[in-house]
């Protein structure tokens, strides 16, 4: 019969419309503007409305999510001590070459110090690939979860300097708890090993 295919297709559309309202009634108020509601819409057995009303509702980003990098600092008595040692590996692996580092120099002796004097990331160039975080041997540079970087003047605001890039280790622990715990554990083990090695000499 001519037209049967179209009617069959329209049946599918009708079912989708029905699902939309059926799901809304079934879930009640908690379907919209709640965390569980958003989460439910992303499961494999979701039906009905699928979209998320940004910015009132937001998708939770997974731990692995990566956006432009930031520098981790340790808070030592109110002083920000960056983990970065200015070794320059991140600026070497960066595919778009968007990282500039100036190594700090001891004013008296002229010897290079293990800390950056300046650190720039041009986020116009950054392609969020995550290589810098992946190859940093000191866990000093990490990918952020903050993706709302829109601003009015890209010429002024899009080169992030050291001040802008530094974020506390506690923030890192908050956005990537799994990785943070793993790294702390590895560090503790390393420390213990080093201590064990040192002892016999004394």
Partner 1 sequence: MNEETKVLESFETAVLERFPDWVTPDEREGYQGLLVDPANLIDLMSSLRDELGYDHLTSLTGVDYLPDEKMEVVYHLVKSTGGPILEIKTQLPRSNPVAPSLVGLYPGAAFQEREAWDLLGIKFDGHPNLKRILMWEGFAGHPLRKDWVEAYHGEEKKPYDDRWPEGKARKIEADNPYRENVSYPEGFNPETWIPDTQELLFEGSQRFQLDDDLETEQLVVNLGPQHPSTHGVFRMVAKLEGETVVDLEPVMGYLHRNHEKIGEKNTFAMNMPYTDRLDYFCSMSNNFGYALTVEKLLGENYQPPERAQYIRVIMAELTRVLNHFMAIGFFLNDLGAYFTPALYTIKERELILDIFEAVAGSRMMCNYYRFGGVVRDLPEGMEEHIRKLVYERLPRQIDELDRYLVENEIVVARGRGVGVLTPEQAIGLSAAGPVLRASGVPYDIRRADPYSIYDRFDFDVAVRYHGDVYDRFLIRYDEIRQSIRILQQAIDGIPKGEVLANKKAYKYKMPKGEAYGRVEGPKGELGYYVVSDGTDNPWRYHVRAPSFINLTGLKQMCLGEKVADLVAILGSIDIVLGEVDR
- For residue 162, the minimal CB distance to partner 1 (Å) is 11
173: three-class secondary structure by DSSP: helix
Which residue among 128, 171, 173, 183 contacts partner 1 (CB under 8 A)?
Answer: 128
Note whether 132 and 69 are within 8 A (CB).
yes
- For residue 180, the minimal CB distance to partner 1 (Å) is 15
Q: Is 113 left (phi over 0), alpha (psi -120 to 50) or beta?
A: beta
Question: Cβ closer to partner 1: 13 or 201?
Answer: 13
The conformation of residue 138, written as its DSSP 8-state character, comes to: T
Which residue among 91, 115, 169, 183 contacts partner 1 (CB under 8 A)?
Answer: 91
Q: What is the CA radius of gyration of the chain?
A: 25
- For residue 50, the minimal CB distance to partner 1 (Å) is 5
Binding mask 95-114 for partner 1 (x = CB under 8 A): x-x-xxxxx--------x--
- Residue among 167, 154, 183 nearest 67 (CA): 167
Question: Cβ closer to partner 1: 18 or 75?
Answer: 18
DSSP 86-137: ---HHHHH-TT--EEEEEEE-TTT-PEEEEEEEEEEETTT-----HHHHH-T
The residue ranges that bind partner 1 (CB under 8 A) are 2-6, 8-9, 11-13, 16, 42, 44-45, 50, 61-66, 86, 88-89, 91-95, 97, 99-103, 112, 118, 120, 122, 127-131, 134-135, 143, 159, 161
């Amino acid at each position: 019969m001519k037209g049967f295919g179209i009617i069959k297709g329209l049946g599918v559309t009708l079912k989708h419309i029905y699902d939309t309202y059926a799901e809304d009634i079934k879930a009640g108020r908690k379907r919209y503007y709640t965390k569980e509601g958003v989460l439910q819409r992303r499961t494999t057995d979701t039906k009905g409305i699928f979209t998320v009303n940004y910015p009132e509702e937001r998708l939770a980003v997974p731990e692995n999510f990566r956006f432009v990098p930031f520098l981790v600092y340790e808070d030592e008595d109110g002083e920000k001590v960056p983990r970065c040692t200015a070794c320059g590996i991140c600026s070497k692996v960066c595919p778009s070459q968007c990282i500039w580092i100036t190594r700090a120099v001891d004013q008296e002796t002229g010897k290079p110090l293990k800390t950056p004097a300046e650190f720039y990331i041009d986020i116009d160039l950054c392609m969020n690939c995550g290589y810098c975080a992946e190859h940093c041997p000191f866990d000093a540079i990490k990918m952020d979860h903050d993706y709302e970087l829109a601003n009015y003047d890209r010429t002024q605001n899009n080169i992030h300097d050291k001040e802008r890039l530094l974020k506390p280790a506690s923030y890192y622990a908050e956005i990537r708890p799994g990785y943070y715990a793993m790294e702390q554990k590895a560090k503790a083990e390393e420390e213990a090993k080093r201590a064990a090695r040192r002892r016999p000499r004394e």
